[in-house]
Amino acid sequence: MKTKLKDSTSLNTANPDITSNTIRAIKREDFVNAFILLVLAFVIVLRAPVLLTNPSFFSEEGLAYFKYAYENSFIKSLFVVQPDRGYFEIFTNVAMAMASVVPLKYAPHVSATMAFCAQLIPLAVVLWGRSFFFDNYIKKIVTLLIIIFIISTGQIWITARHSQFFFLLVTFLILIADVQGETKLKVWIYRLLVLTGGLAGVTSCYLTPVYVYRAVAGKCREYIIQAAILIFTSLLQIAVILHSYYTTGFSQRFNDNDFLKICLVYFVEYYLQPVFGYDLVLVILRNLIFVFPVAIFFVWMIYKSILDVNRRALVVGIIFSSIMLTLTSLDMTGGTRYMYAPGVMLIVLVFSYVQFNKKTFLKVSSIAAFALTVTALTTSMIEYKLRMKIYVNAKWPDWKAEVAIWEKDENHPIKIWPQLDDYKPEIKLTRQKGK
């Protein structure tokens, strides 16, 4: 073994062009990846530029999270558990703590910027990562488009408190990423992202059993480390949840006893809407003849994926996490923010069945997968900006203008977004020393 290593070293020394060509190739790949990421970042901003240029806090993000951070110390803000959530949210807490130390009129800019950066992380994982699901640039580009457009709910768009759903997506992507042979830097980045995902909210912890399965089946040291990290965060979250339950209770959780209704909502939200979008799915449901072939394909795909070592972890993760997200959602009714990450990964799984070989592309399974992927991207791209209309309105109060009034009169409640006919949230802040 030592002789081979010596021979390999001398070979590289004797042929410096090999090393220099490799370095140039890596630098060129990094440049291409950075350029693609920049373009995609622009696409994200283009959906609703005001969310970064002139943001405001949105609903509970301002009413509870920022209000607490502004009226309490930086350290307390980092470790607070919001009673209505019942679990620990490190990313949101950090964002609000950071927002509380800048001049008040710039506070939403801090949380919005952090939320925006959180949305870039899954894109970076795909671009710089390796996986069976994105092992060339064609697959990477399609996967990136799926991440940006599929289930493009405006509800979680550039808001810090909803960033946990993007970290769930990151945890999904690391689950299917190849780690063997990666650099120490990338390995540690993956570990940090898994840790952050588990502490950003309870959603990433739903993938813990799948990470444990992968660690046992894969017999890879790094898989074991990642599983251990998620086990740690899951135990921590469970402890926090139990404490919250016995102190405040969960009045909005586990209240729906209609099993058939829950199953219907689950199937529609996690399997039909990722493909047909929000509007077309209503048409599909009124014409059930279109539902059956899609359902048959999904049953076949799930069966084939469970038998496939490359796809097994992903399909199990999609099914288990989507069930848990439904059961733990408000009143077990699901919702767009819950279905985002599993919906994205479902279409990634569907796309993996498209055969690019001329001889196999025309297989029924490949054509069906291609048709569903194209349908999903088309419907979601059409709805991309339209879905933001109910979450962004130029007539809603300007945060800086509201803060200017409050600075002259601290009894003035600061109006935040959204401002609807039946819901007009406003923050009543108490100025603390040094602020």
| Closest-CA residue to 49 (of 118, 114, 141, 112) | 112
Per-residue pLDDT, 372: 96
Q: Report helix, strand or coil for 182.
A: coil
As a whole number of angstroms, the distance between CA 115 and CA 130 comes to 25
In this predicted structure, the answer to whether residue 7 has a pLDDT above a threshold of 80 is no
Band (pLDDT 50/70/90 cuts) for residue 256 is low
| Closest-CA residue to 298 (of 357, 362, 217, 376) | 376
Please give the C-alpha separations between residue 379 and each of 150, 168, 376, 434, in angstroms, as whole numbers. 9, 23, 6, 50
Per-residue pLDDT, 138: 94
Question: 302 and 322 in contact (C-beta within 8 Å)?
Answer: no
In this predicted structure, the answer to whether residue 54 has a pLDDT above a threshold of 90 is yes
In this predicted structure, the answer to whether residue 425 has a pLDDT above a threshold of 90 is yes
Q: Report helix, strand or coil for 429.
A: coil
Question: 365 and 349 in contact (C-beta within 8 Å)?
Answer: no
As a whole number of angstroms, the distance between CA 293 and CA 272 comes to 12
Q: What is the pLDDT of residues 78-117, one digit of tens each?
A: 999 998 888 999 999 999 999 999 999 999 999 999 999 9
Per-residue pLDDT, 426: 95
- Which residues does 18 contact at the CB level (< 8 Å), separation at least 6? 11, 12
Q: Report helix, strand or coil for 426.
A: strand
Per-residue pLDDT, 25: 61
Question: 270 and 322 in contact (C-beta within 8 Å)?
Answer: yes
Half-sphere exposure of 222 (CA within 13 A, CB side): 19
The first and second tokens of residue 299, run together, are 């049953």
Among 148-152, 179-183, 285-289, 387-391, where is mean pLDDT lowest? Answer: 285-289
Mean per-residue pLDDT over the chain, rounded = 90
Please give the C-alpha separations between residue 304 and each of 151, 208, 352, 358, 360, in angstroms, as whole numbers. 25, 23, 12, 22, 17
First to last CA, the chain: 64
**8-state DSSP, 387:** G
Q: What percent of the chain has pLDDT over 90?
A: 72
The first and second tokens of residue 92, run together, are 């949101």
The first and second tokens of residue 66, run together, are 């920022």
Half-sphere exposure of 378 (CA within 13 A, CB side): 8
In this predicted structure, the answer to whether residue 428 has a pLDDT above a threshold of 90 is yes
